[in-house]
Amino acid sequence: MLTSTIKKFVNRLFTAPSSGPERLTRDQHGIDRRSVSRHAIKVCEVLKQKGFDAYIVGGAVRDLIVGLEPKDFDVATNATPNQIRPLFRRARIIGRRFQLVHVVFGQEIIETSTFRAPASEDQETDENGRILRDNLFGTHEQDAARRDFTLNALYYDPLSEVVTDYHHGVADLKTRVVRMIGDPETRYREDPVRMLRAVRFAAKLNGTIDPATREPIEHMAPLIKNVPSSRLFDEMLKLLTCGHAMDCLQRLRAVGLHQGMLPLIDVIFKEEGGRQFVALALERTDSRVRSGKTVSPSFLFAALFWKLTQKRWHELIEKGEPNIQALMQAADDVINGQTKTLAIQRRFQADMREIWFMQPRFERATPKGMWRMLEHPRFRAAVDFLQLRAEAREVDSVQAQWWMDLANADNATRTEMIEAWQRDNQGAASGKLRRRRRPRRNPATTPQTPTP
């Protein structure tokens, strides 16, 4: 008990500001105001005009300082949700554990939160210390103290272009170190998802986790199982779409966090070609993320679990199950086995199945079937998946490219391609040349060979 107390004291000593916050000018932090959302600036302007403090905060400030493009912009203020909402035409209060305001500008939502007070003993928690409800409002300094990592406790005023830094987060950003504010064990118990966030930030920044921040993770990893599965799914999606997906998976495995999220990943990696297939899929995902393209969660999880589905499919065929029924049963077995831990949304599950179910159809398509496949809403995703399989040398690359060319063609070119395929495969009913059947003879008209 005494050791734990000393540990907490030392941790506070090194994470608490010694003489007030640093205030960094544009020349020091390097943020270009033109890269900041004009809607986030507008929210800050309106709040300041009404006499409140307001700052762009968190991940957006972190990303802008290191030269990344933020996915979204959040605002922190000393105004309460009930004071914020009337100031904007389209705004709504949301949240139970953390009550905040969504200010809507067309397709963009600016999440606006009130400064929070640090966790207190009388807050509602579960048996492991995870905070269930946290609507205690506080000061700017208190809000900075209750944020998880130093690199997220940064506040940018878009009007003065000054960054307020209470916990030397800019210095940690420059050295690419992820460091917890406060005692790591206590903070992980308050919210176990912080362990996942530490891994994601370290991978995204190509950096490291501070030793004191990393040390408790391995023995506290089982706490992840107490997090609602829907929230785990959201966090897993962030990990896989941060632009460094394979690095994230490897870091999760290194500290044992994957057991609470993707327990099947060890099994997948042990399958023949499993690691290679996942690596190819995640490389493609990272490439899309870095080029600003969208990523389909359905495609991503279909790729992650394909090798297990394929293995189960072949096992069922060997037991005598018909080909398509075997694939359908394999898909159910694998998805149901994973969703006990990770709540993959039903619409994504349906898309995963459709991507998988179309794979055998590519090998046994008829001209009429090709036109039906082209109309399928998951056709393009299934073709992309076929390309991935070709890259992993599961299927013929020439065949996969033909389907990709068909997907990219206009209707006139598609007609020509399918007609050319039909000419080259006269009599084909399944994508392969069919053996010609001999005509049946009529016994009444067929001359009988005399028996010697």
Query: Closest Cα partner for 126 from 24, 39, 228?
Result: 228
393: left (phi over 0), alpha (psi -120 to 50) or beta: left
Q: Which of 148, 210, 351, 384 is catalytic?
A: 148
Q: Which of 72, 126, 234, 405 is catalytic?
A: 72
**What is the radius of gyration, based on Cα positions, of the chain?**
28
User: Is 72 in the active site?
Assistant: yes
Q: For residues 115 and 392, give the distance between their C-alpha atoms in angstroms, rounded to a whole number.
A: 50
Q: Read off the tokens for 93.
A: 């209060």
Q: For residues 241 and 256, give the distance between their C-alpha atoms in angstroms, rounded to a whole number.
A: 20
User: Is 148 in the active site?
Assistant: yes
Can you tell me whether residue 288 is helix, strand or coil? helix
Q: Read off the tokens for 318.
A: 């060997």
Residue with tokens 């904007």: 88
Q: Which of 74, 286, 351, 384 is catalytic?
A: 74
Q: For residues 145 and 165, give the distance between their C-alpha atoms in angstroms, rounded to a whole number.
A: 11
Q: For residues 176 and 64, give the distance between their C-alpha atoms in angstroms, rounded to a whole number.
A: 14
User: Is 134 in the active site?
Assistant: no
Q: For residues 382 and 352, give the distance between their C-alpha atoms in angstroms, rounded to a whole number.
A: 9
Q: Read off the tokens for 387.
A: 């390309």
Residue with tokens 């006990």: 340
Q: Other CB atoms closer than 10 Å to residue 249's CB: what's the count?
A: 24
Can you tell me whether residue 445 is helix, strand or coil? coil
Q: For residues 299 and 302, give the distance between their C-alpha atoms in angstroms, rounded to a whole number.
A: 5
The catalytic residue positions are 72, 74, 148
